[in-house]
Amino acid sequence: MRESATNTDNARTISLQRAEELKRDAERYLLNAANIYTSIDNHLAVEQRKESILDLLNGSEEDWQDWKWQMRNRIKDAALLGRILGLSQTEVKQINRVGRFYRWAISPYYLSLMEANYHTSPIYRQAVPDILELIPGGTPDPMQEERTSPAARITRRYPDRLIINVTNQCAMFCRHCQRRRNIGEYDVHAATGEINEALEYIAANHEIRDVLITGGDALLLSDAKLEWILSTLKRIPHVEIVRLGTRTPVTLPQRITPELCNILQAYPPIYLNTQFNHPLEISNESKLACDRLVSAGVILGNQSVLLRGINDDAVIIRKLNQELLKIRVRPYYLFQVKEVSGTGHWRCRLEKGMQFMEEMRGHTSGLAVPTYIINAPRGKGKIPLMPGYIIAHEKKDYFLRTWEGEVIQITDDL
């Protein structure tokens, strides 16, 4: 009995020592994350910015909650943006200069998330044209989507799934957009005949089990048109799931109306992937949008883009992903920026992205760790990247590295 009690005491001592080590690891993160805020934390400042924007646009609270009003009143005039933010004349001129090459627009809602020091704001930098976009480099279509389009509005890069591109319209034209070649001068939804051709292609190819509706932003179609597409896909026996690609929970959460959710609830299973890139994009309104979608049975995922100067920091990425789990959005992918014209200043070294994976794995919930992805050029598909955990392999013996750097030996003798 005394020996058993001694063993128990030793085990408890070892456990307490280990718990202290783990606590120190967690506390280092908490200290570093203490000054990284969401817009839920900053809701008073967001409300003040919202009121000032409404005053300038002669809008009401009822207008603000109307997604169509938000779309009609997107800020796309540099002089107006200058009045809202207090931009210098030089900044206004630079925005106009870039705007001659690359279109821009910002929903009033998304602009309300911007901090007072707009120069360093991740909201400002994702939404407002930057003179760095004019640096030569990249190509308009590095994914060669136009060469992987067997039917109108279809992109097909994989055996059992494909994309329908239904619009070029967005609530906010992200400065790192992979399809900026499609933005053009005007908002244009796909013609009904083109969508019909895409749906007929899907119906004629029985191996297609997974359809992604995207754009532009899939949810900027009218409720009626979206329901027509969903109902048609539902009637195709081999289509098992539908995915929606949309940034409206981030840039236009007012679009997630009860009426829209009723439509989505009628055609399960629907998976919705959005794109939160920074904790400041998580607001009370985006949380409400996600709550409505989850209540409608929609499964939510997030596809962040690794952006230099926005989220190229392990603590920011970890904070973002943990906050997303709190609003029931599962981190799915962390994308390397594609080599699109005018986006080279956003790119980070692959080594840095893998370092972030290293600094999350084991240090936080596996649910909070996305897969780091680079898209192969010429439409060759996604390639997952991760740190090397297999140190060596000798016949049946594997030498593996743990998340803390300890090397262990595993014998695979099956």
Q: Are 339 and 139 in contact (CB under 8 A)?
A: yes
| pLDDT value, residue 202 | 98
Query: Is 24 in the same domain as 61?
Result: no
Whole-angstrom distance, CA of residue 73 vs CA of residue 90: 24
Band of pLDDT at residue 1, cut at 50, 70 and 90: low
Structure token digits, residue 342? 């005018």
Q: What is the Cα–Cα distance from 302 to 293, expressed in whole angstroms? A: 14
290 strand-pairing partners:
none
Q: Is the pLDDT of residue 2 over 70?
A: no
Percent of the chain with pLDDT over 90: 86
The pLDDT of residue 159 is 96
CA 7 to CA 330: how far, in whole Å?
42
State the pLDDT at residue 252.
Answer: 98
The CA distance from 395 to 160, in Å, is 36
From CA 193, how far away is CA 166, in angstroms rounded? 11
The overall longest dimension of the chain from CA atoms, in Å, is 83
Gyration radius of the chain's alpha carbons: 24
Tokens coding 389: 């955990």
What is residue 380's predicted lDDT score, i.e. its pLDDT?
A: 84
Q: Provide the number of structural domains found in the chain.
A: 2
Q: What is the pLDDT of residues 309-336, one digit of tens each?
A: 999 999 999 999 999 999 999 999 999 9
pLDDT band with cut points at 50, 70 and 90 for residue 303: very high
- Cα separation, 322 vs 369, in Å, equals 9
- Is residue 357 domain-resident? no
For the entire predicted model, the pTM comes to 0.95
Task: For tokens 């408890």, name the residue.
Answer: 12
Predicted pLDDT of residue 165: 96
At 3, the pLDDT band (50, 70, 90 cuts) reads low
Across 58-72, 181-195, 383-397, which has the greatest mean pLDDT? 58-72
- Boundaries of domain holding 18: 1-34
The pLDDT score that the predictor gives to residue 294 is: 98
Boundary of a domain, candidates 85, 116, 131: 131
Tokens 């055609």 appear where?
Answer: 267
Phi, psi angle pair for 68, to nearest 5°: -70, -35
8 Å CB contact between 327 and 295: no
Domain boundary among 79, 102, 131: 131
Residue 4 scores a pLDDT above 70:
no
- Residue-wise pLDDT for 252-297, tens only, equals 999 999 999 999 999 999 999 999 999 999 999 999 999 999 999 9
Is there a contact between 37 and 280 (Cβ–Cβ < 8 Å)? yes
Domain boundary, last residue among 88, 107, 131? 131
Same structural domain for residues 29 and 48?
A: no
Any domain includes 60: yes
**Quick check: 146 pLDDT over 90?**
no
